[in-house]
Structure 1
């Protein structure tokens, strides 16, 4: 198993930049020795998602129209974690961002938090990193979504959310991965 980088970067060229992402094009020699180009989308924030579960094993999904997909999407609450460029991602900052997103999107506050998953969301074209948390000990407060969010909150049994994943009704990668991870934890008696 080779774990060293087999790619050679000949040149890199910034193509696009905004407050959330940047796009860089690389002239490369690929692992087979051929010359080519590779594009990389760099995410300036770390993604965070929250799977809230109450004492009766109900969960909460957020429905919203996704501009990039031109489609409606059911998801677990999620957002971004701002951190300083070039510095390691702090778990404390990401947890605080997850707590903020849960409150903003659903009005829920949780007393127990557990990181259940770390994942890369699309590692063939981006470096986006995500943390998925389980939130328990829920108390309802008032939601305060951002102006770009027109959200519908849906409380449902966790088994129904799992069924939505199986039927392809939930397609967001963090939501799918988080729900499947929690189902595995449930099956192994780790809830």
Structure 2
């Protein structure tokens, strides 16, 4: 269902300026008006775009994930391979490169699943999720700080999510998307 855009509901940005910036993050201050007519300053955060990949084995039964610690929220969780887009690199190129660097596997195919904004109310940071069906081992991983990669049964993913063992937004979006595509509703549509 597509809804028409209603300019009466649009927030208006009169100006925006950076108040802190480096290669990892830009914090800005925007002068905005909301539909009620109220005008005020609103903080913005801009982060580099990222790409991640749901890597399935040849049978489509297992997904390649890393068990790793994220120090900012102090969380251990399973994550998909992925990373930030390099200058001049397409999201698909980033997705394939990150799989190979982090795991030592080269995807046989990479197809776009979905792009999303993880914190759409304040943060700009496009995340692009891809699906790789099958991989070939080509080398040892070169990114040594990305955790320990293992093949995880796709059937175990819903329980891992329920137990909070998958907490990364890109991993959640990608895995839930793949599960929805392979679930009973998707199978009945294909029949």
**Structure 1 length normalisation: TM-score?**
0.85
**Distance apart, 1:112 and its partner CA:** 1.5
The separation in 1 between residues aligned to 2:119 and 2:28, in whole angstroms, is: 16
| Pair 1:47 & 2:43 matched | no
Correspondence for 1:69: 73
Q: Which residue of 2 aligns with 1:143?
A: 141
1:120 corresponds to 2:124 = no
Distance 1:46 1:31 in 2: 29
1:59–1:123 CA distance, 2 compared to 1 (3 A): same
The alignment of Structure 1 onto Structure 2 pairs a total of residues equal to: 180
CA RMSD in angstroms comes to 2.0
Does residue 179 (structure 1) correspond to residue 165 (structure 2)? The answer is no
Which consecutive residues of structure 1, in runs of 5 or more, have no partner in the other structure?
85-91
Secondary structure at the counterpart of residue 145 of structure 1: coil
TM-score, length-scaled by structure 2: 0.85
Look up the match of 1:17.
21
Flag the 1:29–1:161 CA change in 2: closer, same or farther, 3 A.
Answer: same
Shift of 1:150: 4.7
Q: Stretches of 4+ moved more than 4 A in 1?
A: none
